[in-house]
Amino acid sequence: MSYLVVDLVFLALAAALAALLSRRARRRPGTWAAVLAGGAVLLVLTAVFDNAIIVLGLYGYTPSALSGLFLGAMPIEDFGYPLAAAVLVPLLWRALTARQAPGSASPEDRRRAPRARALRTEERP
């Protein structure tokens, strides 16, 4: 199996999960801006550092499993996982941090609670 096929399967699964998670994220401003900004940085860093490790001989690929498309010394398949991560990580973050049990305190409320209790006890005679 080629690296490109593995990438496409992984990206299809990531896209399906992103479609489910983006439903909730659409209601929260800034999600897609964060995805684009983080994704751009991640792809640039992948290009720079993958080229470096390949040129230095720290990592190599089976030539028969590559598509033949390269960006410098780096095969284009190397962008698959960072691309999926750039989409999924912010959406998972939003989805997981937005889920709270009804009536439960937010992390900010929990941080304020000890101070509020201390203030209430100081007021008592």
Exposure b/e, 60-75, CB count within 10 A at least 16 = b = eeeeeeeeeeeeeebb
CB of 90 closer than 8 Å to CB of 47: no
- Residue 125: DSSP 8-state: -
Q: How do strand 74-75 and strand 70-71 relate by DSSP bridges?
A: antiparallel
Determine the pLDDT at residue 20: 81
Determine the pLDDT at residue 51: 95
The maximal CA–CA distance of the chain, rounded, in angstroms, is 81
Determine the pLDDT at residue 46: 95
The low-confidence residues of the chain, meaning pLDDT below 50, are none
